[in-house]
Amino acid sequence: MMITEPVLDDVSTVLNTPLLELGDVTITPLLLIEIALFFVALAVLSALVRRRLIKFLFRRSKVDEGTVHATTRIAGYAVWVLGFLVGLPMLGVSLSNLMVAFGALSIGIGLGLQKIAENFVSGLILLLSRPIKVGDRIRIGDVTGTVTDIHSRVTSIRTNDNIIILVPNGQLISEQVVNLTHNDRVVRFAFEVGISYESDPRVVERCLLEVAEADPGILAVPAPDVLFVGFGESSLEFKLRGSTSTMVHTPEVLVSRVNFAIWERLKAEGIVIPFPQRDLHIKQVPVALVAPTG
């Protein structure tokens, strides 16, 4: 079935019907369709650039995951910015008209979109200054987990329970954040244990070092050490310190495994781990509590 010329004229008339005047640009259905197709093409191009850049960077073994993510995310934003600056004028939308639209948008930001703008800017700061990057182990408030993605508005954090928590980017900039792996992937853990006063501290030190040296998750360099931290009410207090790079994201597993090994090693050596005790010394028994004799 062929489309007749009157039908084409009607379609052309509908597509070119003025809807809105924005400066010296007339908004028509045809212009809206062109802009929509432009955005789709820009999104596809941005995704393609990021995918190619990821493949290129991953060929370089020294580039870490956080650097790859930040670089590709910024490259995607750059494609969008360049697309706006180059593509929209080709569609007949001048930059001066865009400034008018942005001026209207700023009113909306002032009325209720401050948080969205704040989180977007904070996301750019995270990507550029990189105080936090993908793959880092962080703690913010009661949340501890691994950064999996930094979006334009929120950052995804995966906990050890495989739960994804979305934290606003502004919160990561304004609040105190503990980054356990900011400089490198080596984190030191401390394992505290109390020993009976009847035990030889040097024997305890040797046993704890043997436990650390036998655990595959604790590094030989830097070497583990043992601190005799004090004299408790019921025990001698020791602290075994060891570093790991493979168990950073599963610290509970490492702590549990080392505690089991410490218990077994000390038990085999005959060293007692005491529980809190209290000794009561009664100097004088009240007369009313003494049972009558005879």
- pLDDT (tens digit, 9 = 90+) per residue, 210-244? 999 999 999 999 999 999 999 988 889 999 999 99
Closest by CA position to 18, among listed 6, 31, 9, 8: 31
Do 122 and 172 meet the contact criterion of CB atoms below 8 Å apart?
yes
Strand boundaries in the chain, DSSP class E? 20-22, 25-27, 137-140, 143-150, 154-158, 164-168, 178-179, 187-195, 225-231, 236-244
Residues of the chain with CATH 3.30.70.100: 187-269
Gap between the Cα atoms of 234 and 274, Å rounded: 7
* CATH T-level assignment (fold) for domain 187-269: Alpha-Beta Plaits (3.30.70)
What is the structure's pLDDT at 1?
46
Gap between the Cα atoms of 66 and 205, Å rounded: 39
- 0.75 exceeded by the pTM? no
Gap between the Cα atoms of 239 and 230, Å rounded: 10
What is the structure's pLDDT at 272?
87
Distance of CA 64 to CAs 58, 68, 151, 228, 285, Å? 8, 6, 18, 38, 73
What class has domain 132-179? mainly beta
Gap between the Cα atoms of 171 and 162, Å rounded: 22
Residues of the chain with CATH 2.30.30.60: 132-179
Q: Assign residue 23 a region (left: φ > 0; alpha: ψ between -120 and 50; beta: otherwise).
A: left
Pairing of the two strands 154-158 and 20-22:
unpaired
Residue 144, SS3 per DSSP:
strand
* Token pair of 272 as six digits: 């007692």
Closest by CA position to 222, among listed 244, 254, 191, 195: 244
CB burial of residue 264 (10 Å; 0-12, 13-18, 19+)? exposed
What is the structure's pLDDT at 258?
95
**Which residues, given as ranges, of the chain have pLDDT below 70?**
1-16, 18-27, 54, 57-66, 88, 91-113, 276-294
Q: Which residues contact 266 (CB under 8 A, 6 or more apart)?
A: 193, 195, 204, 207, 272, 273
Gap between the Cα atoms of 279 and 264, Å rounded: 29
Do 208 and 148 meet the contact criterion of CB atoms below 8 Å apart?
no
Closest by CA position to 273, among listed 169, 199, 176: 199
What is the structure's pLDDT at 251?
87
